[in-house]
Every structure is written in C-alpha cells, then in structure tokens.
Structure 1
C-alpha cells in the first residue's frame, strides 16, 4: 500500500504566516488609500464654486421700528452686494428688517448676542430674498428709546 505524506505542520505554518502577512499588507494598503482619499476630498479638492467677490455697498436711510410697550428702534442698514449684482432695490431689505425687529423688547435688543443672532437671521433672509446677491448686512444706526 502506498502512502502519501502530508506536508508537515511547519510548512503550513510558514504558508499561513506569509499568507497572513500579505493579508495584513493589503488591509493596511486599503486603509492608507481610504485615509488619503478622505483627506483629499475634505481638504484639497476644488469646491467648484468660487467665493463671491464683494461689490457695491447699498446704504439705506434709517427707519423707525415699533417695539414693545411703546418703545421704538431707529435702525439703519447697509447691504454688501456681490460683485456685478444689479442695483438692488432696498424695499425688500427694509421690509424684512421691520418684520424681524418689530414688537421686540428693548432690553432684548441691547444684548450683544441677541443683536448678532438677529443680524445673522437678517443676512440669511436677505440672501434668500435677493437670490444670493447680498453678502452681508451692516448696521449703520441702532438706537432704541
């Protein structure tokens, strides 16, 4: 009867070690490639849209807004438009400003955080109403009584 000899366990262990080493190397290579791709995606890839350049500043006359308890706010604003924007009509900006500030408590408006939050909300709304032609809003006058 003929017998075939099976490879010794030392040979299979060596095969397992080299095969395992290759698997680890491939796994490491995949992780490095994923990390590099993620870094490129979030840090280096072109965004596709260039930041709009600031253009004309449209300064509007101050308006008086009725606040709570018979108080009022005299507020003046200026719109920072994007470069090449058509001459904007300030009526939408004044309407939005009046809507946003009307009926508020005077004590609320003297707080810096509240004023900044309201300004951010105004910029957001004007960006929407002017279809991206307004970059920022500046308060040129802000007096409560």
Structure 2
C-alpha cells in the first residue's frame, strides 16, 4: 500500500508544479507586457522648448474697409524669435491682416473674444508665412468706425 500512496502523490506534485509554473510564466508575461505598453504609450515625448524671443518689429498703421462698409485702423507689432535672420519684411504680415479682417463686419469684431479669435487666426497665418521666425503678434492699435 505504501507504493500506491507514493504513486498518487507524485502526479499531484507534478500537477501543482505545472500550475505554479504556468502562473509564474503568465504573471511575467502580463507584467512585461504592461511595462512595454507603459513605455510605448505613456512615455511623454519631449516637447521642444519654446523659442527665445527676439526683437519686436512695429509695423505701420493701415486702414482697411470692413465687409459692412465700416473702417478698421490697425497697427501691428511682430515678436521675432531670437534666431530670426536679418530684418523681417512686414509687408507680408500687413497683407495677411488685410485679407483676414476685410472679410469681417464691425459686429463680428465688436467683442474681445472675436478680436482674439481673429488675432489667433492671423498669427497662425503669419507664423506659416515667416516660417517660424515670428512667435507672437501684438495689436498696438485697433480702432473701428
């Protein structure tokens, strides 16, 4: 009878050790997969630092017609980046300002939110036109009549 007890004990130990081995392997795979997923998806990409501000270039005032027959007198200043090469020509920025604001009415520009939205859209166009040499835009004069 001693032999039958030993023979039944060995398969039970083998089953336990196989289960334990499977559990350990599964845990290692889950932890390894979780770690890999963390590094792939949650590892923040390093964002480039914002450009250093350079000099501010004041542009001449322009008067333009709004869509509904009113006028807008606008003066701009461009904040160049420190690595901007040479003197920036403001004529492109003024042309973009004319095309941006001449399609709007006085009612569309009467709130500060609308002016800020127009400024943001103009800044986006200016940044594209000047290929990253301009980092900000300032309205030094904004008079509607």
Q: TM-score, normalised by structure 2?
A: 0.82
TM-aligned CA deviation for residue 129 of structure 1: 1.0
In 1, Cα distance between the equivalents of 2:109 and 2:98?
Answer: 14
TM-aligned CA deviation for residue 84 of structure 1: 3.3
SS at match of 1:70: coil
Q: Which runs of 5+ in 1 are unaligned?
A: none
- Structure-to-structure mapping, 1:5-16, within 5 angstroms: 7-16=10-19
SS at match of 1:68: coil
- After TM superposition, where is structure 1 displaced by more than 3 Å over at least 4 residues in a row? 36-39
Q: Name 1:69's counterpart in structure 2.
A: 68
In 2, Cα distance between the equivalents of 1:46 and 1:104?
Answer: 39
Q: Deviations over 1:110-144 (max 9, x none)?
A: 12222111111111111111111110110001111
- Structure-to-structure mapping, 1:32-43, within 5 angstroms: 32-39=35-42, 41-42=43-44
TM-aligned CA deviation for residue 22 of structure 1: 2.8
* 2:126 equivalent to 1:123: no
In 2, Cα distance between the equivalents of 1:62 and 1:50?
Answer: 33
Between the two proteins, the alignment pairs up a number of residues equal to: 137
In 2, Cα distance between the equivalents of 1:62 and 1:93?
Answer: 12
Root-mean-square deviation (CA), in Å?
Answer: 2.1
In 2, Cα distance between the equivalents of 1:103 and 1:36?
Answer: 48
Q: TM-score, normalised by structure 1?
A: 0.82
* 2:87 equivalent to 1:87: yes
